[in-house]
Structure 1
Amino acid sequence: MDDLKFGTRNKRGDWAPNQPAETAPLFAFPLRLMAILKWLPHYFFPWNTIFAASAVAYWAWVIPPVETMQTLDIGWIAWLYAVNAICVLLFYGAFEVHLYVLKRQENRFKYNGKFPSEQKNKAFWFERQNVDNMLRTFLSGVTIWTAIEAAMLWAFANGYAPWLSFAEHPWTLALVALVVPIIHEFHFFCIHRLIHTPFLYKWVHSVHHNSVNPSPWSSLSMHPVEHLLYLGTAFYHLILPSNPILMLYQLHYAGFGAIPGHVGFDKVEIGRGKLIDSHAYAHYLHHKYFEVNYGDALIPLDKWFGTWHDGSAEGEAQMQERYRRRKEKLAARKARLEVGEAAE
């Protein structure tokens, strides 16, 4: 597959798509009906369908009986941890092996031309990005994921969360299922802006941003506080009219859904001549520039708050202009402080 039909590569080997990143047309005004209809299949396939199917599979084959979940017991919680760990290992590992170990598509469609394994960095445990990212994923990420999952299932089993049946409330639950990605986007943008405040960035979010050149294992490589905030998206189902399967879908959308934004490739080659879009470009630009694209472009929150970067020359100019204005404000504030100190 010739990736230069879809983008360009610079002298460093970094690839960028010809088309700038776009926000979904769902919340564009005035509404563009044809654009929404054309985009709609991408809302479901392939990623959202995969995460929804995994939630159904969990409920069918993994989640214990309701009577068991009424009591928080180490047995069934340890079982959940084991299944979550195995599923993360298989799902994340499949992308890692395909793209980074076997390098089956070499650096075609890869945003950053270098592979993390080629470089040591003291920011990581053992100076290895993959080792660091994997340890953080399993020691903290999957642990907190399982704790939230167990707490929510316990809440449903004991009547502390509104549990509607699909047989009696099909349309209500269908609506909740449809907005699961929107809930995630809103939650992610809010907590992401929060952890980019100076104090929380230094002590919490910088762990995730050590992976400037993200790879699959970077997806859930976070500080424990960020894991709690990020995976806490499941807690919305304590107040929504919902169902445990939809709560699992919400949790899987966050846990497994972190992969597409961190694979480091714009497209994944599947078979001969078949491509799957990762839709990772907007989030890759966040890892590259840090202060843009706090959301995933489903809701145009970054456009509304002036932090959108689409990867184009115009987007770069807008970002540099934001930096310039901020530096001017900081310089002016510093000057006022110095004048005040001199007057004293």
Structure 2
Amino acid sequence: MAAVLISALAMTLIVGLRYLATSGFFAWLTQRVRPGLYAKLGPQMRREVYWSLLSAGIYGIPAGIVAWGWQNIGWTRIYSDINAWPVWYLPLSVLLYLFAHDSWFYWTHRWMHTPRLFRIAHAVHHDSRPPTAWAAMSFHPWEALTGAVVIPALVFLIPIHIGALGFVLFLMTLMGITNHMGWEMFPRFMVHGRLGKWLITATHHQKHHDAYRGNYGLYFRFWDRLCGTDLGLGSFDGKRRGDPVGG
């Protein structure tokens, strides 16, 4: 039991430090590329850091339990031998995890926009107006819990190499931060081209923070397009629109 607790505490520390390092880097980059964008948002950013570090503790607990189990019992489907599965399965496993995570995120996120759950939990995230690079993990604990369980659950269901899992976590962190930092870092040809019709970047997610209804996905626009909740691309004009308790 003590070993499991230590593992959970260690993962909480790792998640917290990863958040501070990555969000801190992109906040610094924003100051360099878009000087003054966060100039009047000091109190808001302090709230974002507070909620995000609280979320880090919630994310760290299931991650620590899974990490301990993988190392000591082997009860997950994470593998370290590159030859355990065919090489072609490596990118496929990444896509499977991203699609499964995106599907979970879309439906739980949409659920969080029902009026009652929005007021109880999701309003914390939308209090960031506009969101900044510090807002990616700025969640109420109830919402953080819905996000904390998905990857730990998937490692029991879908085989994945430890390196591929690390890449999934890297993409999760990158997309979470860059989608919230208030400007578009990816090139126009990607955002407005064929790739942008299916991938989510800050320009797409900004529309969600402007209008509240729609654009619920994390990585892909698949579910939004299929379910009629794709609102198209937003802008970074600083205007806030929409009803904060959209369905």
Range of TM-score over shorter length: 0.7 to 0.9
Go from structure 1 to structure 2 and tell me whether the alpha carbon gap of 1:244 and 1:70 turns closer, same or farther (over 3 Å shift): farther
Amino acid at match of 1:91: T
The reply on whether 1:226 has 2:143 as its aligned counterpart is yes
Which residue in 1 is equivalent to 2:194? none
Q: CA deviation at 1:159?
A: 2.9
Kindly provide the CA deviation profile for residues 5-47 of structure 1, in whole angstroms up to 9, marking residues without a partner as x: xxxxxxxxxxxxxxxxxxxxxxxxxxxxxxxxxxxxxxxxxxx
CA distance in 2, matches of 1:185, 1:288: 21
Q: Write out aligned runs for 1:1-344 (5 A).
A: 71-74=3-6, 76-99=7-30, 103-106=31-34, 115-118=37-40, 128-138=43-53, 140-157=54-71, 158-164=73-79, 165-171=81-87, 172-234=89-151, 235-267=153-185, 279-296=201-218, 298-311=220-233
Query: RMSD in angstroms over aligned alpha carbons?
Result: 3.1
Q: State the shift of 1:198 in Å.
A: 1.9
Q: CA deviation at 1:261?
A: 0.5
Q: Sort the Cα spacing of 1:297 and 1:85 in 2 relative to 1 into closer, same or farther, 3 A.
A: closer
Q: Which moved more, 1:224-233 or 1:258-267?
A: 224-233
User: Unaligned regions of 5+ residues in structure 2, if any?
Assistant: 192-199, 235-241
Count matched residues: 223
Distance in 2, Cα, partners of 1:176 & 1:285: 30
Could you say if the C-alpha distance between residues 151 and 251 of structure 1 is closer, same or farther in structure 2, counting changes exceeding 3 Å? farther
1:282–1:293 contact (8 Å) kept in structure 2 = yes
The percentage of aligned residue pairs carrying the same residue is: 22
Distance in 2, Cα, partners of 1:223 & 1:141: 8
Matched-pair contact (CA < 8 Å) for 1:77–1:150: yes
Task: Please list the CA deviations of residues 291-336 of structure 1 after superposition, one character each: whole Å capped at 9, or x if unmatched.
Answer: 0101146242112211111148xxxxxxx9xx9xxxxxxxxxxxxx
Contact 1:137 1:220 in 2 (8 A): yes
CA contact (8 A) 1:95 1:216 kept: yes
SS at match of 2:149: helix
| 3-state SS in 1 of match to 2:4 | coil
Runs of 4+ in 1 over 6 A off after TM superposition: 275-278
Relative to 1, partners in 2 of residues 1:167 and 1:118: Cα closer, same or farther, differing over 3 Å?
Answer: same
CA distance in 1, matches of 2:180, 2:165: 23
Confirm or deny: 8 A CA contact 1:153 1:244 kept in the other structure.
no
- Judged with a 3 Å threshold, the aligned counterparts in structure 2 of structure 1 residues 256 and 72 are, in CA distance, closer, same or farther, namely farther
How much does 1:290 deviate? Answer: 0.4
Q: What is the match of residue 317 of structure 1?
A: none
Displacement of 1:216 after TM fit?
A: 0.4
Unaligned segments of structure 1, at least 5 residues = 1-68, 108-113, 121-127, 270-274, 313-319, 324-344
Deviates more, 1:232-241 or 1:209-218: 232-241
Task: Rate the CA distance shift 1:245–1:233 in 2: closer, same or farther, 3 A.
Answer: farther
CA distance, structure 1, for counterparts of residue 183 and residue 97 of structure 2 = 25
Report the TM-score when normalising by structure 1.
Answer: 0.57
1:250 to 1:151, Cα distance in 2 relative to 1, 3 A = farther
Task: Tell me how far 1:241 sits from its aligned partner.
Answer: 2.1
Query: What letter corresponds to residue 262 of structure 1 in structure 2?
Result: H
